[in-house]
Amino acid sequence: MPPRFGVFLVTGRFPGQDDADALRRSTAAIRAAELAGFDDVWLAEHHFMPYGVCPSAVTLAAYALGRTDSIEIGTAVSVLSTAHPVALAEQWSMLDIVSGGRFRLGVGRGGPWQDLEVFGTGLGRYETGFAEGLDLLLRSMTAERVGADGAEFAFREVPMVPHVPGRSTPPVLVACGSPGSSSVRTAAGRGLPMLLGMHADDQEKADTVAAYRAAGGQAGARHVSTVLCQVADDRAGAVREVRAALPGWLADGLAAHVTVDGRPRPKRDPVAYTDLLCELHPIGAPEDCVRRLCAGIRDTGVSHVIMMVEAAGVGERTLENIERIGADVLPAVRERVSSRAAPGSG
């Protein structure tokens, strides 16, 4: 399959900014991504924290679809543990119709955060209810009528309005954290592609794809790999820029996680995590980024890559980064990957 490249927007509030700054940066980046030649844009969803100030990826996606002409828009992810699957399916159906099929839905379990308390879905939806919610979502996206009689969802049959006819396999992908994650088996069992996160290196992503296949997943599933990409005149300058902005955002954002039941939450050192991201991902001069992206596609077998482009934390630099990736990185990666895949190319 030819490679695909997208922009991944967390909409983080960096130190010294307000929420409006972050949201305006993301909305400008969406249009810039289409102009720069990206295939898609993916929008994150978070609640009650500066790590990401978009509380509804579907709502921001609707705005993005109305402001663009051809680029696909996806959620990365809509948190299924705090959303009703039928309501999410209704929103997908409506946006699928009005956008001409440009909307994709990524879903994930989320975490054991206080969101479960605030929205009243409870810890069970996170710990044991994800598969049931996903199955209900898929039925609701494909069937003309849907009902439920499960542990988490029980209601009389209702018509799905609006209905998208002819959808046997909805455009859904599932966030999967590691090779041993239950989400890998859940996605594989339903023939859905995975969304692989920035925290994993290429070997872990390759192992996750292998675990998916071992669980019966489709060999040709179009998984999506998330990376951080920052282009500058040289690698030292790109790393310096990321290290100047990212730790402050991570420190504020990660500290804001509050568990629903008081369990200890995982902690990362913001500086060490920033250094890890700089080691793992395409950060540097355009040629540095080209080589790293090509190596990642080769080593993971995942040729759909979405890029976190906000690491400088400033709107102007985010737009400049998108433009430089589109002009100086993507054409070269597409050419090299296509040449390598062509018959007789070795």
Q: pLDDT of 241-287, one tens digit each?
A: 999 999 999 999 989 999 999 999 888 999 999 999 999 999 999 99
Give the up-direction half-sphere exposure of residue 74: CA atoms within 13 A in the CB hemisphere. Answer: 26
Residue corresponding to tokens 């954290």: 177
Distance in angstroms (rounded) separating the CA atoms of residues 307 and 223: 14
User: What are residue 151's phi and psi, to 5 degrees?
Assistant: -70, -35
Query: Mind listing the pLDDT tens digit for each residue in 82-119?
Result: 999 999 999 999 999 999 999 999 999 999 999 999 99
How high does pLDDT run on average in the chain? 96
Per-residue pLDDT at 165 = 87
More confident residue, 170 or 234: 234
User: Could you give the dihedral angle defined by the CA atoms of residues 115, 276, 202 and 213, in that order, rounded to the nearest 10 degrees?
Assistant: -30
Distance in angstroms (rounded) separating the CA atoms of residues 269 and 277: 12
Q: What value, to the nearest 5°, has the Cα angle with vertex 279 and ends 257 and 188?
A: 65
Pairing type for strands 283-284 and 194-196 reads unpaired
More confident residue, 169 or 50: 50
Cα Rg of the chain (Å, integer): 20
Query: Mind listing the pLDDT tens digit for each residue in 137-169?
Result: 999 999 999 999 999 999 999 999 999 888 888
pTM over 0.85: yes
Contacts of the segment 150-154: beta carbons below 8 A, 24+ positions apart? 151/124, 152/124, 152/125, 153/85
Identify the structural domains of the chain with CATH numbers, from first to last.
4-341 (3.20.20.30)
Query: Mind listing the pLDDT tens digit for each residue in 318-328?
Result: 999 999 999 99
